[in-house]
Each structure stands twice: as C-alpha cells, then as structure tokens.
Structure 1
Amino acid sequence: MAEASTGAHDGLLDGLLSAAEGTGPLLQRDYWAIIERCGCSPSELMELVASRFAEFAPEELVVFEREEERNSPLEPGDELRVRIRGAGTFRVRIIHRDRQSLTLATLSGHPEAGRITFGAYRNEQGDIIFHIRSRARSGSRVKYLGFRTGGEAMQTNTWTDFVNAVALTVGEGVIGFIHAETSVMGEAHESADDVQGPTFLARGD
C-alpha cells in the first residue's frame, strides 16, 4: 500500500458522529494479545486485516459489508455497513490507514459516537501484538442505557473474537489470554485527542 494516508481529503470527515456529540463518559477500550508463532510482520498482518476485515468479525454478533463491492484493501474514504445483532444496521467510514494501523469512525445514527483503531506492532521482545483500541461515547441517551444493559458484553465478545480470529489466521492463536480493558478518558486527555487520527500509534515492524 501507499505510505501513510492521513490527510483529511474532501468529504472524509463529513457526517461523522464524533465522541463529542455522544452521551455519557468517553471510554477507551483496549483489546489486545500476543500472537503465538506469527507468520508475518505487523505491516503484513495489517494488510491482511485491511483486505479481509469482514471475515474476522463474529457473524453471530456483527456483520460488516462494504458499501462498494471491491476486492482491494480498505482505504480512507471507504464505508462499511455494520449489522449489529439486536440493534440494526449502521455505517462506519475508514478515516485513517498507514502500514501498521486502520481506523474506523462512526457515522450519524450509529449506537456509538467515536472511532476505533486496529493495529499491529512488536513488543520489546520482538513478539507481535494485535491491538484494538476504541474511544467512544454512546450515540444518544437511549443508546447509552441500552448499552449498559447488554451492549457492553456483546462489544467485548465481538472484539476479543476478532483478535482471536486474526491470531489464528496469521499464527497459532494467542499467548496466554486476550486482554480486555476499559478506562474513562479524563478531560485533559480528551481535549488533547486527535479525533481525525488513530486512537494509538502502532510502531515497530
């Protein structure tokens, strides 16, 4: 792929449902694991994720479909329909991609307001980590209440299953277990957040 696609080209940010427009606390959710015997580099892993994104989601919980039928990897400006069990069908847009990460943002009507980054990198020992980090609020007060009554567990299952599916595709699964952590973003962190960029920087190929 071409080197980092970070520019906010015409229309890329139009219609996004930013976290600032949501309801409730701004939550950062992290799901990550070390991949056992990974057979590719982090950048190769992310090329695979960008090319076969929909295949890694647990279809009993969520289904992703491209708005335009193409076989090429996802790139900024591409949109996906998201059918969430029990919630309906919504849309997200890719707003950033570089060699080691891919970032999606929610569009108007989505039950969450914010963005999510998928990235791969090496730790100090050279192990390859696949990491998903979202920063979002609920899209509305009604959706916030609904999320607290069942949506949170479903979201955790969705993204831990995604991590596991990637790990089994490029390696022999995960080492140990899949980490799932949630933290509330403080006001200082929120004001410094780049809402047009990834939620974390994946470095170390």
Structure 2
Amino acid sequence: MADNPKPEQPAARGAGPQLDRRYYLDVLRPRQGPAPLMAAVQADLPQFSPALLADFEQTSGTAGALAVGDEFHIKILGPWNGSVRVTEVGATFFELATLEGHPEAGRIRFEAHALDGRPDALRFEIHSVARSRDGLVAFAYDTIGGGKLMQEATWVEFCQRVAQASGGQALGPVTVETTRRAPDGAVEHTVSHV
C-alpha cells in the first residue's frame, strides 16, 4: 500500500444526484461457472476494460491476485482520471471505492452469479452507487453528458468481454438500469439495452 494512501471518497461527500447504475449481461452455457470466471477477471482486471476509454494500472498490490487494499489508477479519456481501492473480494465478486480526486464519489461492485438458479446460465453484473465528486463534475456529467457516455461504453464493453471470456453465448445486449436520485428527492428510473 502507498505510504500516504488517499482517503476514500464516499457518495455522501459528492455533489449532484446519486446514480445507482446496474450494467448486466446474461450468458447461456458458459464454459466457466461464476467463481472461475470471476477469478479470471480478478487476475487481470485491465484486460477486461477498453484501454482507450479506461486504462487500469495497478499501483499497489500483487499483480494477478486481487486483494483488499490494492489500488488502481484509471486513465479515463478526457479529464476524468482517478484512482480506486479494492474494499471487498470474494469468490464471485469484488468491490472498488473511489479515492479522493476521482471524478465520482462512491463504490462499484462486480459480480458473477447463477441466473435464477439455472445451472446452464449466469449473469455478470456491475453495480455502482455514486455521485459526482463536485459541482463542476456534476455539471459536466449531467449537462454535457460526455462522462456518462464514456462510462456507459466502458462498462458495456467490460460486460461483453467477460461474457466472451466465459465461453458462453450472450442472451441479448447489455442491460443498463439507472435510478437517479436528485438532491430534492425526485427519483427517475430508466432502462436501456446497449
């Protein structure tokens, strides 16, 4: 771990609406079950992310063995670079927390599990709960929209790469569900298929 680790940046410290986003893809007849598939993702997180949009570089921890406390710096297209820390790791999941200076404040969880108890299908899911780091980032994200588009493209591609690594067949496009909770209490829910 770094000598002076950056503090985590929880969603409560962010600005603007809280976004609860789920990106998921169902896979039929995967050659790997949830645990072996997640082990492959945990062993080489950068290979599943499109480097042109979000280039993950491990800055602490042991390569090939994801562990709590490991950190990654993410070079994100545009002025969106930031760092994350691994906060949880299990056989079928892991979670990252954004660190001070990241454009978002919150957490993101990656998980693979059987689809509705079916032995022949699985779901890979990315679930984030976050707000923008500050008012300027919130304005750029909500008004200009570039950050949102890059984020969606990154996690959709990530889901597709995991599905491909599973050796199974994707059951349709990636589903993106967003629940937007505005500071005034208004809630908006959207679903798209990308």
2:73–2:84 CA contact under 8 A, matched in 1: yes
The yes-or-no answer on 1:156 pairing with 2:152 is yes
1:164–1:173 CA contact under 8 A, matched in 2: no
Output the CA distance in 2 between the equivalents of 1:95 and 1:14.
Answer: 14
The yes-or-no answer on 1:51 pairing with 2:43 is yes
Output the CA distance in 2 between the equivalents of 1:72 and 1:59.
Answer: 18
- Describe how 1:157-196 pairs up with structure 2 within 5 A: 157-185=153-181
1:95–1:104 CA contact under 8 A, matched in 2: yes
The yes-or-no answer on 1:20 pairing with 2:12 is yes
Counterpart of 1:67 (choices 20, 37, 59) is 59
CA deviation profile, 1:133-186 (whole Å, cap 9, x unmatched): 000000000001111211111111100000001111112441111101101359
- Describe how 1:73-92 pairs up with structure 2 within 5 A: 73-92=65-84
**Where does structure 1 lack aligned partners over 5 or more consecutive residues?**
1-10, 188-205
Q: Residue 164 of structure 1 aligns to which amino acid in structure 2?
A: Q
Residue matched to 1:109: 101
State the Cα distance separating 1:27 from its structure 2 match.
1.0
The yes-or-no answer on 1:41 pairing with 2:33 is yes
Output the CA distance in 1 between the equivalents of 2:182 and 2:92.
Answer: 27
Residue matched to 2:132: 138
Aligned CA-pair RMSD: 2.0
- Matched residue count: 176
* 2:162 match: secondary structure: helix
Output the CA distance in 2 between the equivalents of 1:14 and 1:173.
Answer: 40
Q: Residue 175 of structure 1 aligns to which amino acid in structure 2?
A: L
Counterpart of 1:98 (choices 70, 80, 90) is 90
2:80–2:102 CA contact under 8 A, matched in 1: no
CA deviation profile, 1:21-68 (whole Å, cap 9, x unmatched): 000111110000111321111111111111011100011111000003
1:22–1:138 CA contact under 8 A, matched in 2: yes
Q: TM-score, normalised by structure 1?
A: 0.80
Output the CA distance in 1 between the equivalents of 2:97 and 2:111.
Answer: 15
2:81–2:103 CA contact under 8 A, matched in 1: no
Aligned structure 1 segments of 4 or more residues deviating by more than 3 angstroms: none
Q: TM-score, normalised by structure 2?
A: 0.85
State the Cα distance separating 1:73 from its structure 2 match.
1.7
CA deviation profile, 1:106-147 (whole Å, cap 9, x unmatched): 000000000000000012233111000000000000001111
Q: Residue 147 of structure 1 aligns to which amino acid in structure 2?
A: Y
1:119–1:130 CA contact under 8 A, matched in 2: yes
Which stretch shows the higher mean deviation, 44-53 or 66-75?
Answer: 66-75
